[in-house]
Structure 1
Amino acid sequence: MTVVRVALPVPLRQHFDYLIDPALPAQVGCRVRVPFGSRQLVGIIWQLAPADGFAVDKLKPVLALLDSRPVLPELLCRLLSFAADYYHHPLGEVLISALPALLREGRNLDDYQPKAYALTTQGQQLSADALKRSAKQHALWQALHKHPLSESVLLQQHRRPTLKQLLDKQLVAEHIVPATPFAAPPKPVTGLKLTSAQALAVSAVTQAFGRFERLLLEGVTGSGKTEVYLQSIASLLCQQQQVLVIVPEIGLTPQTLARFQARFDVPVLCWHSALSDSERLHCWLQASSGAAAIIVGTRSALFLPFWRLGLIIIDEEHDQSLKQQDGFRYHARDLAIKRAALQHCPILLGSATPSLESLHNALNKRFIHLPLPDRAAGQALPRFELVNLKQQVLQYGLASQTLATVKQQLALGHQVMLFLNRRGFAPALSCQECGWLTECQRCSAFTTYHKQSRQLVCHHCGASKAIPRQCGSCGSTQLKPLGQGTEQLEENLQQLFPDIAITRLDRDSTRRKGALHQALDEIHQHGARLIVGTQMLAKGHHFPNVSLVVIVDVDGALYSSDFRAPEQLAQLITQVAGRAGRGSSGGTVLLQTHYPEHALLQDIIQNGYAAFARSALHERAQTCLPPYQQLALFSAQAHQSQHCQQWLQQLAECARQFPALQLLGPIPAPMERRAGYYRWQLQLYCTSRGAMHQALTLLLAELASWPLSRKIKWQLDVDPTDLS
């Protein structure tokens, strides 16, 4: 028996040795089913015949080898190994997270390969009258007598039970059809006419083919970044190389997919969490075999096993959705750069509002900077106006100046978009007599009133309950909504503009499958329309008929304890504003605020995001904050607050032995209690990336033995983007 070292999906930072029959074709990257305590787990072979293995008589045998060839190729194993080391996460959980759910369950991969059916020798020799008593079997036998059929074609005309009956009679045999790479187009597809800046960007990308290069495409909203992507891809497809396009959210995949499918006559597939398990495995197989030319997906598409990857594109590279916020906390943008280095292919990062980290790399010549300063069709950038709410009469949360401008644009037949980053009807219910507010019993937050579902919902832990009839403090029945959400804004607009169609885009209205696609189709219909939405509207969408954008409440993000808040607000304002004026008519953006003199608002409006970002970088350098220092975040949560504080205090005392580290904390998290747990955090800063990771490795090895570590839940987040 041979010893194999297996990585298992358990929260332990170690591997496990097992015995396997040397006659089996075991390879690194293959799945095995092994005993683990009282359970059976599916793991990944990580090492063959390790030199430091345990004695053979102390090891258990592998129960089954599930693959004859690796499901994780060598290059992908190297990427995942790097990710596990960099983010200090157990390797077994990292490896398993890169596989589709059906493979994680131990399903046989051959069961999901493309199949074809043909008559056996017995079936070919069968007389034409033998199946006359079964018309359906006879019809299928006749169809296969002409030629074999693929499974997809066969099931279009015949039922699966009929096929099974012929298989059971051994008249038909099943064959796996080897997948073939996509056919390269004979010549590049001609696209739209490019501006000089777009042409320079496309030239820079195509010249980088075949080698690792990092490129940052910084283009204002409407500058034609997608056209740069499309024309860069065109010549690559002629070389029969694959392309990975990562978008930050599921909501952006349909329109991105449609544009790529309309331009290229090659297989273009999507990958995101809304697909079924079988659909995701199909996409995984197509990418692995080379049958898929282009994959458009969310962050986990980064781990697909491509046959011949030639280019990686990260659209909206600044977006926080690219960072996984629980479990294996990786950043898709940063790991995509590592994958491009391993693949020896270029990576193109695109955004109208690049992150300060990427901009810092571009200014320091680590990235090739490709600016697109003007809109592709020559339209002017939208004009900003600050609406001072302290000097206006408000009607349903909208100033009189705002309503007058909305009426004017609707009268011209244009569309108007109102952005409010708060779903539900109201952020809370308030007692009109004593001021009591509906609070979540498990979080340091208020519960949001959802009028349509008649529920109070906590948007942090998901807890919901019925609307109370009385105040929880004084017993009064005078409970009224406090504040405004998209649901209430939609209702109020229906009263103000009864003859105008309204489309609401938020997580509640698009929960049903196909609802988002239907809503986007409605928006693209011509004619006056009001569009109400949350952050789903903020990026990527092209609404040519929108001439006015109203940011209903910009004040909520002006004052925050997170040092990244100004950057995120500037990105949000710029992205939302970019939906205006993309057609033939000009664009206007109204920002409703009680603080029109705020320096951040004035900087964005007067100078634009590019100038703001450079001044923000200067401020980060002066305060020694990322990207000028490395940041790691230890967070702890427990039912008793003192346990978190004590554990982090012990960690802080241990971390002080590393002089390169600077500590902030232990401090309560900005949201001190969530889902019934008290939350504390400790922030670690270091100017040297190497020194930071060396310290983290030693700290993790030490804290595993602390008794208090078993009384709390703790996590380490390297390069965190959310400090809440």
Structure 2
Amino acid sequence: MTTAPDPDAQTRVAVAVETPQHSGVNATLDYLSEQPLAPGTMVRVPLGKRTVLGIVWPAAAGEAPEASLRPVTEVLDGLPALPEAWCRLVTFASGYYQRSIGELALAVLPPELHKLDRAGFAQRLARLRKALDSARPAAAADTPPPPSEAQATLLGQLAALEPGRTVLLHGVTGSGKTEVYLRAAEATLAAGRQVLVLVPEINLTPQLEARFAARFAGRRLVTLHSALTPVQRLRHWLTAQLGEADLVLGTRMAVFAPLPRLGLVVVDEEHDPSYKQQEGARYSARDLAVYRGRLEQATVLLGSATPSLESWQRAQDGRYLKLALPQRIGGGSLPRVRLVDMSQQPRQTTIAAPLVEAIRERIARGEQSLVFLNRRGYAPVLHCTDCGWKSGCPHCSAWRVFHKLDRSLRCHHCGLAERVPRACPECGNLDIAPIGRGTERLEEQLAGLLAGPDGRAVRIARIDADSTRGKGALEARLDSVHAGDVDVLVGTQMVTKGHDFRRITLVAAVAPDAALFSSDFRAAERLFALLMQAAGRAGRDADQAAASEMWVQTWHPRHPLYEALRRHDFEAFAASQLRERESAGLPPFSHLAMLRADAKTAAAAREFLEAAAATAEPLDSAAAVTLYPPVPLTVARVADVERLQMLVECAARPALQRFLAEWLPQLIALRRRSGHAILRWAVDVDPLSI
């Protein structure tokens, strides 16, 4: 006979478990523990018929245990409790982004941790401690180059800052921002504190990791990103949590790395949209980095040649300290921008003759060129010239892209892939042709245009999501570019930012105009940043900088965006955009949230959103917000799921937060009443696209 636990001999603990906000379960659940457990302690607890990982959470003290509470199954001891500041960071993020504490807290832990019981966890921890003790980092670190006068002045300003300040480092491409990061990290480590470095994309991690590893050869550096194996990610996370990692370098997930002595957070390319999570808890790693810096009295360094307008405005208002590196290292000049007016080119021109000739000249001099197009595949769509059939996706409101290399039609939204039909599926016409072009077709066109008179092939490499799918493929292609084994590099935006290509003297954007007339108010900002970053790949060797060029093929050469680009004038572009945003009441002069609904039919999604708007009307906080009518997303249907969204706008961030907190219980109740008509719904705070 099992004896019931004596509540008087046990302690009541609040535990965060992974239950979604939409389930309506409270933020934490109460359990009985045989011993007091510090907040941040990891435990295994019963949840329904399962035993799940949980985290003891800070809670109000003084509540008496109840016999009906279930006991904690296991305590994963041997590891220090997660820091109090980490719990506070998660609590803030869960409230701000309208997710449950448990959902967020457990989602940012390594997946492998969820699988381990106490014994398995103890074994992993013992092996890690043994490995750490036997593999202390050693070999001498690289000797740093002397800082430029501008870098030395800036570093002095950083050293004089009070803890917890946020700094916006606005430095042109090639101005030595990375060296500032390295020296700021050196000062932080010398003070006995840890450094967190965030990068926007995985493909930038190895390059920056190599720079930091070489400079800090005697220090322990770990990475955190989704390309790691589950075992690697757990090992690196535990190394950070134990306080053994001096530096953590990673993508947006790394903002939640547990670092007990955090002293510096670097956010490289802080403007990049990749810092915003697009699924689950839709958090911004950049914004959470700023909050975490204030919370833990750590300096936050936001670096970019093209800062986000939100960060720029905060610097203008004095909330961030703005520091600048306006010149390239060694006095090199920024590339000359040449605008090619496509309306003056012969009809059907894909790559203008003057641009082809300029690339030929580079090849003859042993220099490299980069040509980018932000669309992969061979062509966006196949088309029948007889009946008008196009290669649409049967499951999405999007075209299937033609990939010539493997003769496939692929939907880049749902993943459907099929062989290219031998004839038109509608009328049987054998003459089906590609419309438009992607990087695969651009590579083919350049090979034909640049071939020598004797037919000698030009060395062209393509870098995009298709060509670098295999393990090590990206690194191999980048190595060939750095080694000088490539004449022309073709790629998507993957190759336009962060890379230090020393031999590239010409960069060309062949079809950037589409973003000029997008309905998304941030499209112009993203295009300008992309083009400025791309231009920055040219002339990074000071000896070649004077001859470097950025070519832009456009049908609108007099557009103000291109005029600002021609002058490399970010400040003028930002001022113009901010004036437009302020007059239109758009961020950063207002604050947005988006309610999105997915359903089997558009009618069901619309009905849910309209009912959600109706539930908002009687709320006290609703007077401060504006709810707009539901509209479909740009790609309205993906994998046979219809997607609609409703914009919420508010003049003040606190008022928006009050409204969302009051509205969320109404949405949870509404979802329950909707039954299976709604597949998913989510609130996106500070959405990047509308």
User: TM-score over 0.5 for the alignment?
Assistant: yes
Contact 1:419 1:534 in 2 (8 A): yes
Aligned in 2, Cα 1:310/1:620: closer, same or farther, shift over 3 Å?
A: same
Q: Deviations along 1:277-330, whole A, 9 cap, x unmatched? A: 111122112222332222211111111111311110000000000000001110
Q: Distance in 1 between matches of 2:91 and 2:134?
A: 28
Q: Distance in 2 between matches of 1:69 and 1:529?
A: 52
Please state how far the C-alpha of 1:709 moved relative to its aligned partner. Answer: 6.5
Aligned in 2, Cα 1:278/1:607: closer, same or farther, shift over 3 Å?
A: closer
Aligned in 2, Cα 1:410/1:182: closer, same or farther, shift over 3 Å?
A: closer
User: Structure 1: which amino acid aligns with 2:163?
Assistant: R
Please state how far the C-alpha of 1:573 moved relative to its aligned partner. Answer: 0.8
| Corresponding residue for residue 62 of structure 1 | 72
| Corresponding residue for residue 669 of structure 2 | 705
Q: Which deviates more from structure 2 when the two are superposed, residues 401-410 or residues 38-47?
A: 38-47
- DSSP 3-state at the match of 2:497: coil
| Corresponding residue for residue 171 of structure 1 | none
Q: Deviations along 1:5-36, whole A, 9 cap, x unmatched? A: 2222121351454543424x633222332332
Q: Deviations along 1:575-612, whole A, 9 cap, x unmatched? A: 11111111121211111122223332233324622210
1:34 aligns with 2:1: no
| Corresponding residue for residue 526 of structure 2 | 568
Please state how far the C-alpha of 1:567 moved relative to its aligned partner. Answer: 0.6
Please state how far the C-alpha of 1:180 moved relative to its aligned partner. Answer: 11
Q: Mapping of 1:123-202 within 5 angstroms? A: 191-202=144-155
Please state how far the C-alpha of 1:64 moved relative to its aligned partner. Answer: 2.5
User: Structure 2: which amino acid aligns with 1:609?
Assistant: F
Contact 1:249 1:321 in 2 (8 A): yes
| Corresponding residue for residue 401 of structure 1 | 354
Aligned in 2, Cα 1:431/1:52: closer, same or farther, shift over 3 Å?
A: farther
| Corresponding residue for residue 3 of structure 2 | none
| Corresponding residue for residue 16 of structure 2 | 7
Q: Which deviates more from structure 2 when the two are superposed, residues 708-717 or residues 509-518?
A: 708-717
Contact 1:455 1:466 in 2 (8 A): yes
1:590 aligns with 2:542: no
| Corresponding residue for residue 85 of structure 2 | 75
Q: Tell me which of 403, 418, 427 is aligned to 1:474.
A: 427
User: Structure 1: which amino acid aligns with 2:629?
Assistant: G
Please state how far the C-alpha of 1:70 moved relative to its aligned partner. Answer: 5.0
Contact 1:394 1:400 in 2 (8 A): no
Aligned in 2, Cα 1:598/1:435: closer, same or farther, shift over 3 Å?
A: farther
1:375 aligns with 2:328: yes
| Corresponding residue for residue 569 of structure 2 | 608
Q: Mapping of 1:525-604 within 5 angstroms? A: 525-526=483-484, 529-583=487-541, 584-585=543-544, 586-604=547-565
Contact 1:494 1:502 in 2 (8 A): yes
Q: Mapping of 1:424-443 within 5 angstroms? A: 424-443=377-396
Q: Deviations along 1:238-261, whole A, 9 cap, x unmatched? A: 223211110000111111011112
Contact 2:591 2:651 in 1 (8 A): yes
The alignment's TM-score, normalised by the length of structure 1, stands at: 0.87
- DSSP 3-state at the match of 1:636: strand
Please state how far the C-alpha of 1:390 moved relative to its aligned partner. Answer: 2.2
- DSSP 3-state at the match of 1:370: strand
Q: Distance in 1 between matches of 2:675 and 2:532?
A: 44
| Corresponding residue for residue 32 of structure 2 | 20
Larger Rg: 1
Q: Mapping of 1:367-516 within 5 angstroms? A: 367-393=320-346, 397-496=350-449, 497=451, 498-516=456-474
Aligned in 2, Cα 1:368/1:16: closer, same or farther, shift over 3 Å?
A: closer
1:222 aligns with 2:174: yes
| Corresponding residue for residue 4 of structure 2 | none
| Corresponding residue for residue 524 of structure 1 | 482
| Corresponding residue for residue 195 of structure 2 | 243
Aligned in 2, Cα 1:236/1:70: closer, same or farther, shift over 3 Å?
A: closer
Q: Distance in 1 between matches of 2:137 and 2:174?
A: 32
Please state how far the C-alpha of 1:331 moved relative to its aligned partner. Answer: 0.2
Q: Tell me which of 90, 110, 113 is aligned to 1:100.
A: 110
| Corresponding residue for residue 259 of structure 2 | 306
Q: Distance in 2 between matches of 1:710 and 1:89?
A: 21
Q: Which deviates more from structure 2 when the two are superposed, residues 687-696 or residues 475-484?
A: 475-484
Aligned in 2, Cα 1:184/1:709: closer, same or farther, shift over 3 Å?
A: farther
User: Structure 1: which amino acid aligns with 2:532?
Assistant: T
Q: Distance in 1 between matches of 2:623 and 2:60?
A: 40
Please state how far the C-alpha of 1:382 moved relative to its aligned partner. Answer: 0.8
Q: Distance in 1 between matches of 2:653 and 2:229?
A: 39
Contact 1:4 1:50 in 2 (8 A): no
Contact 2:600 2:677 in 1 (8 A): no
Q: Distance in 2 between matches of 1:467 and 1:382?
A: 42
- DSSP 3-state at the match of 2:26: coil
User: Structure 2: which amino acid aligns with 1:708?
Assistant: S
Contact 1:7 1:44 in 2 (8 A): yes
Q: Deviations along 1:84-129, whole A, 9 cap, x unmatched? A: 011011111111122111112235332223549xxxxxxxxxxxxx
User: Structure 1: which amino acid aligns with 2:571?
Assistant: A
| Corresponding residue for residue 44 of structure 1 | 55
| Corresponding residue for residue 94 of structure 2 | 84
- DSSP 3-state at the match of 2:569: helix
Q: Unaligned stretches of 5+ in structure 2?
A: 1-6
Q: Unaligned stretches of 5+ in structure 1?
A: 117-149, 153-176
Aligned in 2, Cα 1:48/1:601: closer, same or farther, shift over 3 Å?
A: closer
Aligned length: 661
Aligned in 2, Cα 1:372/1:709: closer, same or farther, shift over 3 Å?
A: farther
User: Structure 2: which amino acid aligns with 1:111?
Assistant: Q
Q: Deviations along 1:420-470, whole A, 9 cap, x unmatched? A: 111111111111222211011111110111122322111122222221223
Aligned in 2, Cα 1:178/1:380: closer, same or farther, shift over 3 Å?
A: closer
Aligned in 2, Cα 1:708/1:54: closer, same or farther, shift over 3 Å?
A: farther
| Corresponding residue for residue 164 of structure 1 | none
- DSSP 3-state at the match of 1:215: strand
Q: Distance in 1 between matches of 2:421 and 2:353?
A: 34
Contact 1:415 1:548 in 2 (8 A): yes
Please state how far the C-alpha of 1:526 moved relative to its aligned partner. Answer: 3.0
1:677 aligns with 2:641: yes
| Corresponding residue for residue 626 of structure 1 | 587
| Corresponding residue for residue 655 of structure 1 | 616
Q: Distance in 2 between matches of 1:454 and 1:39?
A: 47
| Corresponding residue for residue 252 of structure 1 | 204
| Corresponding residue for residue 333 of structure 1 | 286
Q: Mapping of 1:271-290 within 5 angstroms? A: 271-290=224-243
| Corresponding residue for residue 216 of structure 2 | 264
1:687 aligns with 2:651: yes
Aligned in 2, Cα 1:528/1:471: closer, same or farther, shift over 3 Å?
A: closer
- DSSP 3-state at the match of 1:659: helix
- DSSP 3-state at the match of 1:416: strand
Q: Deviations along 1:121-179, whole A, 9 cap, x unmatched? A: xxxxxxxxxxxxxxxxxxxxxxxxxxxxx966xxxxxxxxxxxxxxxxxxxxxxxx779
Aligned in 2, Cα 1:50/1:223: closer, same or farther, shift over 3 Å?
A: same
Aligned in 2, Cα 1:444/1:51: closer, same or farther, shift over 3 Å?
A: farther
Q: Distance in 2 between matches of 1:591 and 1:300?
A: 35
User: Structure 2: which amino acid aligns with 1:32?
Assistant: V
State, as a whole percentage, how many aligned pairs show the same letter.
Answer: 42
Aligned in 2, Cα 1:603/1:18: closer, same or farther, shift over 3 Å?
A: closer
Please state how far the C-alpha of 1:373 moved relative to its aligned partner. Answer: 1.0
1:112 aligns with 2:124: yes
1:205 aligns with 2:158: yes
Aligned in 2, Cα 1:102/1:53: closer, same or farther, shift over 3 Å?
A: farther
Aligned in 2, Cα 1:553/1:115: closer, same or farther, shift over 3 Å?
A: same
